[in-house]
Structure 1
Amino acid sequence: MPPRPPTQRTAPPGALPLGADRARTTLNRLQLLVTRRLDGLLQGDYLGLLPGPGSEPGESREYRPGDDVRRMDWPVTARTTQPHVRQTIADRELETWLAVDLSASLDFGTARSLKRDLVVAAAAAVAHLTVRGGNRIGAVVGTHGELRRMPARPGRKEAQALLKVLATTEPRPGRADLGELIDALNRPPRRRGQAVVISDFLADPASWRRPLRKLAVRHDVLAIEVLDPRELELPNVGVLMVADPESGAVHEVQTADPKVRADYARGAAAQRAAIAGAIRSVGAAHLRLRTDSDWLLDIVRFVASARHARTRGTTR
């Protein structure tokens, strides 16, 4: 488990408070920050899933070599004696679902914010990028022993209400079942859309890889992994008291020992490699956000890179 002083829970400047009385003001400020920076650096309303050719019938035009013969418009062809194909209207309504893991392990942070704050910020960015033009956004929120579902609705007001639920959900000891949380997006079956899973993914990949693969068969899946730099390496600060935020167990770690620090870094690297490999193996996109970096800039780079890959006809 990542090291954390047992009494640490005070949020750094700019972090999201959990109190319902301050959540509205904080979320409005966060929305303004996201709007200003993302609108200035990105164009377009879609985070990942691009509208396809659509299924609604449109106008007819003359057949050209290379057109799909399954779209032949036979009535027009018969009337004009020239082969025509029926064009389709692209579906412009995107439905996005969030699977948000709010396990106790997210109440940890040694840099600019707690991981829990980063989860809410990432959800706010996704909502901003997908809620326009009548698009709908919903969420399934998981804590230890509890799943809460919020139906997909259009509009910024509904998106803000969803974010308020995330920001005000009280932490509960223990870990949410990430596999069950992801599988909740598979039931009931929905039209093709976008699914975003936000978690630190510290659970065994074997417990969530299969539900994530099933989700990726039908939807465009983005896995947002949040982490803190202290989960990757230990500082040399002598004896460090560390606490498991899920069980409450407290341990002493001698960080002055270079072997301890090296073993920790090696184990952490292997753990993150296993997480990345599991996400990549199911065909999902992977975005890693850190509490010590500019998360908005990381999102901008990811979206710009994904769109560039799509316009070139490649995959991420």
Structure 2
Amino acid sequence: MTPPARRSTGATPGRSEAVLSRLQLLVTRKLDGLLQGDYAGLLPGPGSEAGESREYRPGDDVRRMDWPVTARTTTPHVRRTVADRELETWLAVDLSASLDFGTGQWLKREVVIAAVAALAHLTVRGGNRIGAVVGTGGAPSAPRRWGRTPDAVPVVRRLPARSGRKEAQGLVRAVAGIEIGPGRADLGALVDVLNRPPRRRGVAVVISDFLAPPEQWGRPIRKLRVRHDVLAIEVVDPRELDLPDVGVLPVVDPETGELHEVQTADPRLRRRYAEAAAAQRAAIARELRAAGAAHLRLRTDTDWLLDMVRFVAAQRHARTRGTTR
């Protein structure tokens, strides 16, 4: 449930172009200035080509254990791998109706597009390919009998993986131009699209607010992690974490349109809301951690680009020390 303030009805062409122009300037200036290097990816993975062995360090991926060397030396060793120079990155972008909301500087949808733009900028170099599958609430199904309102059927749109900066910019514009439909996308089914058919090892990024129950998307992400480095980008608005004391607040469910009035002057209600929100976010983080996915949280009221830069820097530092996370 979200306050109706700053909730839009869709992606208007004028606003989308203005947001994309602003994002392009931000991403190009800040990422190029802060993340220098010949090969700078968001998840600078170890690659898939076999390299030298070294002693095991706490945090190393046990799936890369070099058992022959370990047996000969009686000391645990892991096999280093050579970074792939041509990487394929796939994005699973959730554009449910709950993303069409924001009370901070940005709408949640705009933060999603911002993340897509930054990912495209970071991964398009060196002949890398980037593609996306985008899920929305979709169009109504066939009308039911007895005059009941038809359900909204989730829709998944696939944008093929291509290399080149021009193609990456086209992908960002295509995602930004998709209209958010009523209802919620099926996040589990959206992630499963990346599992079928099996692809060569690469990077998979899931961008969502993850408001669907974890049991719906946790298993598909664990399955995706078997073959790919997985990054989960969680988009959050501050009003989803706590309620302000503003008296009677109209609250609308963006996925159903159901409207309620909430008395926010009640401190017990605000406390229960904050506790429930904290428990929900903890469950999301716990499920992503169990799936082995890297977790990045972006907020609509903070500098999302700085958060991404810090995340990339932390990933690089962890890789330099030989750890996987």
- Shorter-chain TM-score category? 0.7 to 0.9
TM-score, normalised relative to structure 1: 0.84
Q: Cα deviation per residue 1:226-271 (whole Å; 9 max; x = unaligned)? A: 0100000000000000000000000000000001000000000000
> Which residue pairs with 2:7 in the alignment?
9
Unaligned stretches of 5+ residues in structure 1 = 12-16, 57-62, 71-87
Asked if 2 retains the 8 angstrom alpha-carbon contact of 1:186 and 1:215, the reply is yes
TM-score, normalised relative to structure 2: 0.82
> Which residue pairs with 1:81 in the alignment?
none
SS at match of 1:139: strand
> Which residue pairs with 1:176 in the alignment?
185
Q: Percent identity?
A: 69
Instruction: State the Cα distance separating 1:55 from its structure 2 match.
Output: 6.3
> Which residue pairs with 1:93 in the alignment?
86
Instruction: State the Cα distance separating 1:313 from its structure 2 match.
Output: 1.1
SS at match of 2:160: strand
Asked if 2 retains the 8 angstrom alpha-carbon contact of 1:96 and 1:194, the reply is yes
> Which residue pairs with 1:232 in the alignment?
241
> Which residue pairs with 2:63 in the alignment?
none
Asked if 2 retains the 8 angstrom alpha-carbon contact of 1:119 and 1:226, the reply is yes
Describe how 1:88-167 pairs up with structure 2 within 5 A: 91-144=84-137, 145-167=154-176
Q: Cα deviation per residue 1:132-181 (whole Å; 9 max; x = unaligned)? A: 11100000000011000011000111111111111111111100000000
> Which residue pairs with 2:72 in the alignment?
none
Aligned pair in 2 of structure 1 residues 131, 257: CA closer, same or farther (>3 Å)? same
Structure 2 Cα separation of the partners of residues 116 and 109 of structure 1: 8
Structure 1 Cα separation of the partners of residues 130 and 316 of structure 2: 21
Asked if 1 retains the 8 angstrom alpha-carbon contact of 2:251 and 2:262, the reply is yes
SS at match of 1:182: helix
> Which residue pairs with 1:187 in the alignment?
196
> Which residue pairs with 2:35 in the alignment?
42
Q: Cα deviation per residue 1:57-106 (whole Å; 9 max; x = unaligned)? A: xxxxxx9999x999xxxxxxxxxxxxxxxxx9753101000000000000
Aligned pair in 2 of structure 1 residues 229, 29: CA closer, same or farther (>3 Å)? closer
Asked if 2 retains the 8 angstrom alpha-carbon contact of 1:241 and 1:252, the reply is yes
1:202 partnered with 2:197: no
SS at match of 2:301: coil
Q: Cα deviation per residue 1:257-308 (whole Å; 9 max; x = unaligned)? A: 0010000000000000000000000110000000010000000000000110
Q: What letter corresponds to residue 265 of structure 1 in structure 2?
A: A
Structure 1 Cα separation of the partners of residues 54 and 236 of structure 2: 52
Asked if 2 retains the 8 angstrom alpha-carbon contact of 1:55 and 1:91, the reply is no
Structure 1 Cα separation of the partners of residues 15 and 265 of structure 2: 41
Instruction: State the Cα distance separating 1:52 from its structure 2 match.
Output: 2.7
Structure 2 Cα separation of the partners of residues 176 and 286 of structure 1: 21
SS at match of 1:265: helix
1:267 partnered with 2:276: yes
Asked if 1 retains the 8 angstrom alpha-carbon contact of 2:88 and 2:128, the reply is yes
1:305 partnered with 2:304: no
Q: What letter corresponds to residue 119 of structure 1 in structure 2?
A: V
Q: Quick one: which of 272, 282, 287 aligns to 1:278?
A: 287
Unaligned stretches of 5+ residues in structure 2 = 56-65, 69-80, 138-153
Aligned pair in 2 of structure 1 residues 21, 64: CA closer, same or farther (>3 Å)? closer
